[in-house]
């Protein structure tokens, strides 16, 4: 296991203050605010720790309210909304400096048999044939305004082996492309068998690249190049089938719409053997600086 992955797992190992109150730490991100995937993953950890072990996360719906301060801890308050025979519902409010910055509703279910069908997995190259995220980002170092921006991005993603199928937006700025993108990802090291841990790590990664497909339709370079300002507004995920975040997952992403200073990203995440594991939808602020 890499040191970066150990650090990320420590970040997700929340301190329990009271029965339903948890505290998490933060770390610096590429931009001067808490990374949204971190807050979502920590909130899901808090919810999951109040749920019986035989119930597994099957969906989450969240809103990002205020940019988080990476220099201060975040307190997660869990409300036990419902404990039914098959489903358990939790609501989590993340608080910083006395103000709610994020809230999440999550649902958990006991395992049961049912009807089966899924959308087929799209074609994609073998992840082992693609350059690592670090190799690719360093190849395009000239597109970053400052060397420290690249280094901060590499540091933020060091716990994850994330491989782009096609060049990222900043590598083709000025060229309009179809608003679709694919990345393969897995953690940089093996994880324990705890299903909640794998779901939380997939949640963490899901916020890294989903809105990139919006930029492709407009030839914009991205969040680190200064030609677009963006932030996550809301995030929803449905966990369809078991998966491991330490094995290759294909993140197939697209943007069906952008308007009113907002853009929508939607995606499906498949295991390498073709099982549809997760569906994701996110809307974000996407503004062109004047």
The set of catalytic residues is 207, 232, 282
Residue 157 in tokens: 């993603």
66 secondary structure, DSSP code: S
142 secondary structure, DSSP code: G
Bridge partners, residue 103, by sequence: 63, 93
SS3 at position 187: strand
CB atoms within 10 A of CB 276: 19
The C-alpha atoms of residue 29 and residue 36 are separated, in whole angstroms, by 10
> Which helix or strand (DSSP H or E) is residue 6 part of?
helix 3-12
Residue 13 in tokens: 């190992």
For the chain, how big is the Rg over CA atoms in Å?
18
């Amino acid at each position: 296991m890499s040191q970066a992955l150990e650090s990320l797992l420590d970040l997700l190992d929340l301190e329990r203050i009271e029965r339903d109150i948890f505290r998490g730490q933060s770390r610096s991100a590429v931009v001067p605010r808490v990374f949204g995937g971190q807050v979502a993953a920590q909130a899901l950890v808090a919810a999951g720790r109040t749920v019986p072990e035989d119930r597994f996360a099957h969906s989450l719906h969240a809103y990002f309210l205020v940019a988080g301060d990476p220099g201060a801890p975040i307190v997660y308050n869990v409300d036990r909304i419902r404990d039914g025979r098959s489903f358990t519902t939790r609501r989590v409010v993340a608080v910083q400096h006395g103000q709610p910055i994020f809230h999440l509703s999550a649902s958990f279910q006991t395992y049961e048999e049912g009807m089966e069908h899924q959308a087929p997995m799209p074609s994609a190259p073998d992840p082992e044939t693609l350059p690592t995220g670090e190799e690719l980002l360093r190849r395009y170092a000239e597109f970053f305004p400052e060397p420290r921006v690249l280094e901060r991005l590499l540091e933020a993603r060091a716990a994850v082996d994330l491989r782009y199928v096609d060049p990222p937006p900043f590598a083709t700025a000025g060229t309009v492309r179809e608003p679709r993108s694919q990345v393969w990802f897995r953690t940089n090291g093996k994880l324990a068998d705890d299903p909640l841990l794998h779901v939380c790590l997939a949640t963490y990664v899901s916020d890294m690249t989903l809105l990139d497909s919006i930029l492709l339709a407009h030839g914009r370079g991205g969040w680190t190049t200064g030609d677009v300002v963006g932030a996550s507004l809301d995030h929803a995920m449905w966990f369809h089938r078991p998966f491991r975040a330490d094995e290759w997952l294909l993140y197939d992403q697209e943007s069906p719409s952008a308007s009113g200073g907002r853009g929508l990203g939607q995606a499906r995440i498949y295991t390498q053997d073709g099982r549809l594991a997760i569906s994701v939808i996110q809307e974000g602020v996407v503004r062109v600086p004047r």
